[in-house]
A and B are shown apart, each in its own frame.
Chain A
Amino acid sequence: MAKLPTPEELVASRPEFPAQSWFDYKPKFEAGSYCYPAQKPTMELMHMPNPHDWDPAADDWNLPENWKEILCDAFADRLAKHRSLKLFMDICVRCGACADKCHFFLGTNDPKNMPVLRVELLRSLYRRDYTLLGKILGKTIGARELDYDIVKELFFYAYQCTECRRCSLFCPYGIDTAEITAIVRELLHEVGLGIHWIMDPVKNCSLTGNHLGIKPHSYKEIVEMLADDCEDIVGIRPKTPFNERGHEILFICPSGDVFADPGIYTFMGYLILFNELDLDYTLSTYASEGGNFGSFTTFNMAKKLNAKMYAEAERLGCKWILGGECGHMWRVINQYMDTYNGPTPAHMQTPVSPITGTVFENAASTKMVHIAEFEADLIKHGKLNLDPSRNDDLVCTWHDSCNPARAMGLLDEPRYVLKHVVNKFYEMPENTIRENTFCCGAGSGLNTEEIMELRMRSGMPRGNALRYVQQKYGVNRMCCVCAIDRATLPPLANYWAPGVTVSGLTELVANALVCKGEPKRTMNLRQEDLPHLDEEEQGE
């Protein structure tokens, strides 16, 4: 990996707008500006159309001979399938309100990263083929004919958008660039263009049940190891039910939580919490992925990967599903799952918390509850014995992940939980949180190493806001409910606000949770000494 510039250098190196019109300047494919392409065997295995070997830096992308026809036909097909696409092609007035709302634009100052221009790349093609004036006046009114360079341009900018929907919040007509990016990516997959970092997890998820390709026996082994760690820390070994029939709840979280630091601490948190509640639940090795990298390729792929959840709930006879902390997983669950793979299996019921009796009417159709809602409800009913002082070494801030914020509206539930499990909490500046939140800069499958500098750029708004609370309040921990965030924010924090660490919500819940009959706790889930230990010893 190339050496990163300092934050000051990075900010100063954002170029001015080019002198040429946007029709004339082309993106430069050089190392660090693009993600590695999906491999041909992977694409073949997933039955993707036109799999082939290609190199983004090469002139020739080895597209199928009739690439133009394929793309034009696919575009027509998507226009017929999505009203949003037609509408967003027609009604933009180019007011520019979206321009400086995009973290990629703020970080790169590339005009084509202004959401309006990102969509205009496609809109210019639409004008030429679908509007009378575009046919007659052509370039005068911004109409272009599809050519090889435009395919490359679409690829370049469709993978410099994290589908975070921040622009859609500010657009007076609600034009959602995430929708356009999703459809452009879908079009590109028609001619065999995808990226490795997305397609490989898709393959894994499809064949082993999770993105990381953890096979059932290894999955069990890893979870057992984490349960051992829990025992070392809490003094009680949490139960680890796998693929068991007849439980009330099926629990599904992103597989990143099982595998990657610091997500594993969140996973340990789930185990400790469920054990303390004596929750009637099971894990599944088959539906061991809540995340959905398919949703970064095509709608149908998202449906395919998502289908396992209801299928497994049906097989195991679970009444409802509890979902772990993940961002795009919840975009899919909240806005797509029921449409894709519903209605739910007949025996599933509107979720009811077995501990508090609360009926989750808001999940009456999907039968799927977010862990933050579940925990907030427990705390509200006084069902958890919490000692927030165990987290006193932490000065926390809350990062709203894009999808839970702008595609779900999960804002106050996690805050309520966090405020009950930590004593020190500070919000980042108000224009960077809640529905205004900024992306970590690497969502939607862009969390790959080869574009690290680009990620630091697109993460600049988030990084700056984090540094602000770090400097002002001494914040040393950023919490979030997103597994991609838990992977992408540590390098981001390390770059923009060194010293700030990252964790999920449930990790801190389990730190503070005083379990029934537990011996005196001396360590947090990271096996670091708890704060106040010395004082207590002195007191004794």
Chain B
Amino acid sequence: MLKSLLVVALVAAIAWLGASAGLGSLFGVVLPYVAIAVFLGGVVWRMVYWAKSPVPFAIPTTGGQEKSLDWIKQAKWDCPDTKWGVVKRMILEVFLFRSLFRNMHAEMKPNDAVNGGPRLVYYSSKWLWVFALLFHYCFFLVFFRHFRFFMEPVPACVGFFEMLDGMFQIGAPRFYMTGGLLFCAVLFLLLRRLANPRVRYISLFQDYFPLWLIMGIAGSGICMRYFTKTDITQVKAYIMGLVQFHPISAAGIDPVFFMHVALVSVLLAYFPFSKLTHMAGVFFSPTRNLPCDTRRTRHENPWNPEKNFLTYPEYEDMYREAMADAGLPLDKPLEKKSGE
């Protein structure tokens, strides 16, 4: 946990010191270009790597009633039997985290009144779902808002969303809810990892690392907007230079900006080699992305081996006499013994 914090702090410090020492173009030009290339190339490479292995069996997890008799109500969202149904199931999964919404918490009551002894009781447990949803949506919206810096003129929808995001008009510059919520959600995910003994037990370096990174990213962004009040026009001109592949001088830009860019770059470059690939991976999951129609439609396995089993003639050869005695029908009649 501390190691991962240290690494993130180190990245931030190096970027900040480097930028202060006039290495802005290294952290502001080379690093983001490399990171974006690694991210795009890496994610494609990862998906190709997955796709190279076939899906030998159709193994959807049926999350409800199957499609069977006409008058039995099918759970169309959780046990879809058509391609379109699968699309709906995936939409629920990807946009609303359907499976996580099922989450419940089991607790042992050693002396339950009904059971007259121990009983496991299950409570609804939606906090992880709430904060996971909050985290992912805020992250997306913060990213979306950043198109103010990547596009000229700023698209109307970005401007409209910024207005919504700051609609409470708190402070100056106006406080963006998504930024604050993103920070809170990451904090929750981190605290959960530390406070829940089970989750802490399974957590590895690479579980804390992206959380610290994202906190660093959100923190440096919030810092630039509300505290160091970075010159936005200058930053926009600089980023447009990057976008148009004509980088301009970094001189005079707040070093926190380069810290922010460096952390984002590390996140992007790290992405394809880490658990963060779950973003692409969820679409590949065979327990979710296949229709529950496995008795109606044959799924082919490209490496299906030859059939090799005890055939009926072999079986009959083994037991012919006993089968004849028992009066079981035979394909090849018992040869009569000589003399009979």
Contacts and interface: CB of A to CB of B under 8 A. Distances in A.
26 contacts: A82-B54, A84-B285, A85-B53, A87-B285, A91-B278, A91-B281, A91-B282, A101-B106, A106-B120, A168-B287, A171-B99, A172-B97, A174-B287, A206-B309, A305-B309, A308-B309, A311-B312, A315-B312, A333-B295, A340-B304, A343-B298, A364-B296, A366-B294, A406-B62, A409-B67, A464-B119
Interface stretch (B18-26, B167-175, B199-207, B244-252): B199-207
Interface stretch (A214-222, A268-276, A388-396, A523-531): A214-222
B315 interface: yes
A408 B295 CA distance: 9
Interface in B284-318: 284-288, 292-301, 303-305, 307-312, 315, 318
Interface residues of A, number: 121
Nearest to A432: B122
Contacts of A363: 295-296
A366 B50 CA distance: 29
Contacts of A373: 68-69
B234 interface: no
B59 A84 contact: yes
Contact of B205 (A17, A142, A429): A142
Given A84-B287, A95-B128, 12 more contacts: A90-B275, A91-B278, A169-B102, A206-B309, A215-B322, A315-B312, A333-B295, A338-B299, A377-B69, A464-B118, A467-B115, A468-B112
Interface in B80-106: 81, 93, 97, 99-100, 102-106
Nearest to A365: B298
Nearest to A207: B310
A217 B322 contact: yes
B203 A94 contact: yes
A86 interface: yes
Contact of B326 (A22, A142, A217, A431): A217
Given A173-B281, A303-B305, A464-B119, A111 B62 contact: no
B58 A335 contact: yes
A133 interface: yes
Nearest to B108: A11
A471 interface: yes
Nearest to A363: B295
B309 A311 contact: yes
Contacts of A436: 102
A376 B72 CA distance: 10
Q: Which of B54, B61, B308 has the most CB of A within 10 A?
A: B61
B320 to A, nearest CB: 10
B53 A140 contact: no
Interface string A69-87: 0000000000111111111
Contacts of B65: 409, 411-412
A165 B319 contact: no
A412 B62 CA distance: 13
A305 B319 CA distance: 18
Interface stretch (A33-41, A147-155, A241-249): A241-249
A500 to B, nearest CB: 13
Nearest to A342: B298
Contact of B198 (A86, A114, A416, A432): A114
Contacts of A171: 99
Contact of A216 (B71, B288, B328): B328
Given A207-B310, A312-B312, A365-B296, A461 B120 contact: yes
Contacts, number: 319
Interface string A477-517: 00000000000000000000000000000000000000000
B277 A339 contact: no
B49 interface: yes
A190 to B, nearest CB: 15
A315 B312 CA distance: 8
Contact of A83 (B62, B93, B284): B284
B118 A11 contact: yes
Given A220-B328, A472-B114, A86 B53 contact: yes
Contacts of A342: 298
A165 B99 CA distance: 13
Contacts of B148: none
A434 interface: yes
Contacts of B296: 361-365
A206 to B, nearest CB: 6
Nearest to B284: A87
Nearest to A11: B118
Q: Which of B66, B199, B277, B299 has the most CB of A within 10 A?
A: B66
Interface string A84-112: 11110011111111011100001000010
B324 to A, nearest CB: 9
A305 B309 CA distance: 7
Contact of A93 (B207, B315, B328): B207
A384 B199 CA distance: 53
Contacts of A465: 120
A116 interface: yes
A83 B295 contact: no
B329 interface: yes
B332 interface: no
Contact of B106 (A303, A377, A412, A461): A461
Interface in B1-50: 3, 46, 49-50
Contacts of A80: 52-53
Q: Which of A91, A304, A406 has the most CB of B within 10 A?
A: A91
Nearest to B55: A83
Nearest to A467: B115
Contacts of B309: 206, 304-305, 307-308, 311
B64 A304 contact: no
Given A94-B203, A376-B69, A84 B55 contact: yes
